[in-house]
Amino acid sequence: TRRSSDLDLVYRFSIEKLDVQNNLLDIKNKELNLVRLELIAKNRELEEISTTDSLTGLPNRKKILQNVSTLIKDKNEKFALFFMDLDNFKNINDNFGHHAGDHILKNVAVRLNEIIKSSDTISRVGGDEFIIILKHLKFTQNVKNIATDIASAIGTTLRTAFTYDGNTMFVGASIGISIFPDNGTDVDTLINNADLAMYKVKNNGGYGYNIYSSSMNNKSIDKLIMKTKLNNAMSNKDRK
């Protein structure tokens, strides 16, 4: 009767209220999910920015170190690490200005990408220095031949003139090469050894490449590196 009817009304009201609460909860969950997705996208964007060279669009030092660390974890992987420093780049900066230098760097990045495979990686690690990783060499009998062929191709493509604002400019490259795991089993050793090999090329006039060997680990190479870095620092000071 009346009591039963009142209870029925209370029941229906409770159900309707519960439905409203569930709908509000669904809306809130959807809103939270959208916020979560936006945060994930933003974090990815920030990570992309923090690991990308703003001038060339190449991976930067942070990213290449991450990539090499990942490769090293695969004990069956064999890869070559190129440490490349541009030759004659400082003269272009001094004579034509930094806008010309930036133009060269961006176009060097383009030319390098045209040479290597899509599975390989190029990064700009600072100034006119680049690191290139040639991956998946484990099934190749003669890794050194592949590395030197690529280094030779880089030298050839960079010898083609660059033009900027009506001016013709030329650069070359000094390239040092280390091979994992032959020349190092950690990131620092591989990069340092490739750096040593690169400075050996610089000492011989640049415009070439060299594969690291244990004979390069001596005091004369250390002195050469220190002298070159000191000369660069003094030169930069004079420009200021």
Reply yes or no on whether 26 is catalytic.
no
- Helices 98-115, 89-96: axis angle to 10 degrees equals 140
Please tell me which residue in 87, 120, 128, 195 is annotated as part of the active site: 128
- Other residues' Cβ atoms within 10 Å of the Cβ of residue 56: 21
Cα angle: 94, vertex 97, 125; to 5 degrees: 85
| C-alpha of 158 from chain center | 20
Q: Is the dihedral of CA 198, 203, 204, 206 positive or negative?
A: positive
Q: What is the amino acid identity at position 193?
A: N
Distances (CA, A) of 56 to 118, 124, 134, 158: 17, 8, 19, 16
Nearest CA to 62 out of 124, 119, 14 is that of 124
109's tokens: 């990045």
> Is beta strand 172-180 parallel, antiparallel or unpaired with respect to 208-211?
parallel
Largest CA distance in the chain: 107
Question: Please, are residues 104 and 89 in contact by the beta-carbon 8 Å criterion?
Answer: yes
Catalytic residues: 128
